[in-house]
């Protein structure tokens, strides 16, 4: 796998809590009430939904060897099931055998905004452990608003280029106003281009879509592996349909009980933890561009570099220069997977020498920007889902400025930029429909929650919290680096998850792997 593809695979889950540079942080005030989500549903489907639950998928060749594709019909608005409907892209790879088929295994890579179909065809359908692929049909559906499923669109490629370069550490009123204007323009673009679907891309609605797909596939229970934001989606499904929970793996877990301000601040601390791990590795190497002293000194060198490119962006070999926003994004992209650390060292050394193409490539991978200047809809969908799921982190720019010191305490390296990034949802045109709350999913079968101790995007304590909230939650811990744990090199983790998926027995609660 080349480095660009490696980062794409990692960054599919980049917006675990919606905290993305120049993206929406899916926020809410810290004091927001812990309002419960919709009540669980165990009753037969409403008559008006019957046509969706009983539809037949027409499978066809995808043009990708080993995969079939189909289109799933669901209502745009579940409150109006006899109204307008939308189409969702579905793909599968049939169970390879030998052994008795166990049904369908639905996968979601996170985001929100990551293409589940792309993840299936590019990795899960060919890279998941062979014993799992032998017994399950591997299935994915692009969530509503994402990729091939009524995608949310907001800005053109050139507009996105400008948006991702806006200074996210404003130093004066003019820069604060410019950042606020950029967020407002982004939101306005989403409303203009995607106003119909924008109010209907919540996680609750996507979870309901998954239940329609479960039924259409002929499965009495849902078997599912969700990464990062996909853990929130899976937990939401369990809350809505606890009696339909089969074997759920929630890897790189989010904590649904937190306000967005807390989510963003916690995630900021997660990136600091990951950076310190990178720095500790870097300073032991003679080619470390941050020096060969202490981790603290490396952090100071990183902050100085960001200040330098803020004042004097460096050339990249194309029209875009590497300023602080793109440089920070590039560094954060490499935090998701320790396999990218050598690439980051090289890119930092180049940028400190006046050539920013390496860090720009990392940032482009994070944003899913193609070489022709077009962008996937990841960032648009990310904002749309997060801003609908939770109220905004801040009431105004003054509140964001007030929060900066607490973010800098969480991360001296990334805090200021990530504090301001959470301002996006303040200007969102569609009112939020969700609130932070605990998810217990009473009555659900055992659910396996997986946490990584130095996960940059979904801090480990979120996994502990979610496992504790779920009435049937079991915590599996990976002591290591990187975002998520399944399929990342730990035989201990993979063996435990494989056994759960194949036999239905989760590992002992609290099991730890390294």
Query: Which residues carry out catalysis?
Result: 228, 455, 483
Instruction: Check: CB of residue 366 under 8 Å from CB of residue 332.
Output: yes
Q: Which tokens hold the place of 390?
A: 């939770």
The answer to whether the beta carbons of residues 201 and 191 sit under 8 Å apart is no
Rounded Cα distance between 185 and 181, Å, is 6
CA atoms within a 13 Å half-sphere pointing along the CA-CB vector of 205: 28
Pairing status of strand 245-251 against strand 473-481: unpaired
Query: What counts of helices (H) and strands (E) characterise the chain?
Result: 19, 10
Cβ neighbours around 374 below 10 Å, total: 12
CB 218 within 8 A of CB 102: no
Q: Exposure string (b/e) for 135-158, b if CB count within 10 Å is 16 or more? A: bbbbbbbbbbbbbbbbbbbbbeee
End-to-end CA distance of the chain: 24
Residues pairing with 230 in the sheet: none
């Amino acid at each position: 796998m080349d480095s660009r593809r490696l980062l794409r695979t990692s960054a599919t889950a980049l917006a675990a809590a919606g905290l993305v540079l120049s993206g929406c942080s899916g926020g809410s005030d810290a004091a927001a009430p812990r309002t419960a989500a919709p009540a669980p549903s165990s009753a037969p489907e409403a008559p008006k939904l019957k046509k969706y639950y009983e539809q037949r998928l027409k499978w066809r060749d995808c043009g990708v060897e080993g995969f079939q594709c189909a289109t799933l019909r669901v209502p745009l608005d579940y409150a109006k099931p006899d109204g307008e409907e939308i189409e969702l892209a579905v793909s599968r790879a049939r169970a390879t055998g030998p052994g008795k088929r166990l049904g369908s295994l639905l996968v979601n890579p996170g985001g929100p905004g990551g293409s589940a179909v792309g993840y299936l065809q590019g990795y899960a359908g060919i890279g998941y452990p062979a014993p799992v692929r032998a017994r399950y049909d591997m299935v994915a559906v692009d969530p509503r608003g994402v990729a091939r499923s009524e995608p949310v669109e907001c800005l053109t490629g050139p507009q996105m280029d400008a948006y991702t370069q806006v200074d996210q550490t404003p130093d004066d009123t003019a820069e604060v106003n410019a950042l606020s204007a950029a967020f407002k323009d982004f939101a306005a673009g989403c409303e203009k281009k995607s106003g119909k679907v924008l109010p209907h891309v919540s996680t609750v609605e996507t979870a309901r879509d998954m239940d329609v797909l479960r039924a259409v596939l002929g499965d009495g229970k849902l078997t599912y592996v969700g990464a990062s934001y996909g853990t929130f989606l899976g937990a939401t499904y369990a809350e809505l349909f606890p009696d339909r929970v089969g074997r759920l793996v929630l890897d790189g877990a989010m904590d649904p009980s937190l306000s967005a301000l807390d989510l963003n601040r916690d995630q900021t601390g997660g990136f600091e933890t990951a950076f310190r791990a990178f720095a500790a590795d870097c300073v032991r190497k003679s080619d470390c561009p941050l020096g060969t002293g202490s981790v603290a000194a490396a952090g100071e060198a990183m902050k100085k570099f960001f200040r330098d490119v803020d004042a004097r962006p460096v050339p990249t070999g194309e029209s875009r220069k590497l300023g602080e926003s793109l440089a920070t994004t590039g560094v954060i992209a490499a935090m998701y997977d320790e396999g990218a650390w050598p690439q980051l060292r090289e890119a930092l050394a180049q940028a400190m020498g006046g050539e920013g193409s390496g860090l720009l490539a990392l940032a482009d991978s994070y944003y899913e920007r193609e070489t022709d200047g077009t962008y996937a809809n990841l960032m648009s969908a990310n904002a749309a889902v997060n801003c609908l799921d939770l109220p905004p982190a801040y009431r105004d720019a003054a509140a964001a400025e007030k929060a900066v010191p607490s973010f800098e305490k969480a991360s001296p390296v990334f805090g200021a930029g990530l504090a301001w990034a959470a301002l996006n949802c303040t200007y969102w045109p569609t009112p939020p429909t969700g609130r932070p709350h605990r998810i217990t999913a009473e009555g659900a079968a055992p659910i396996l929650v997986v946490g990584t101790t130095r996960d940059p995007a979904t801090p480990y304590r979120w996994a502990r919290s979610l496992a504790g909230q779920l009435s049937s939650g079991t915590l599996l811990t990976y002591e290591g680096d990187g975002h998520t744990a399944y399929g990342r090199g730990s035989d201990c983790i993979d063996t435990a998850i494989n056994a759960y998926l194949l036999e239905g027995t989760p590992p002992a609660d609290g099991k730890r792997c390294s």
